[in-house]
């Protein structure tokens, strides 16, 4: 699926986000889990363009789009990937 998230909702969310949240668009990669990614997997996903990785969101966004709903995904990054020394 391409363009899972509604462009208008994305623009609105970015415009309304308080500056101290450092909100920005990014690429969310959904993985099956149930375990966390290894450092090697995190490096690979980063090289492939991932900004955030998680075990949810993708199935919910897909189901909502198939129902014809407008979808917006928001992620709060709470921890860095293993071996990730970026802020």
Positions annotated as catalytic residues are 37
Give the Cα separation of 74 and 36 in Å (integer): 20
Contacts of 20 (CB under 8 A, 6+ apart): none
Give the Cα separation of 74 and 77 in Å (integer): 10
For 28, the token pair is 């969310």
């Amino acid at each position: 699926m391409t363009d899972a998230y509604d462009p208008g909702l994305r623009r609105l969310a970015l415009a309304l986000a308080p500056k101290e949240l450092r909100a920005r668009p990014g690429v969310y990669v959904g993985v099956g889990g149930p375990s966390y990614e290894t450092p090697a997997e995190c490096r690979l996903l980063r090289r492939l363009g991932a900004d955030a990785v998680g075990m949810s969101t993708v199935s919910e966004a897909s189901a909502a789009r198939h129902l014809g709903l407008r979808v917006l995904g928001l992620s709060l990054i709470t921890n860095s990937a293993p071996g990730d020394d970026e802020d």
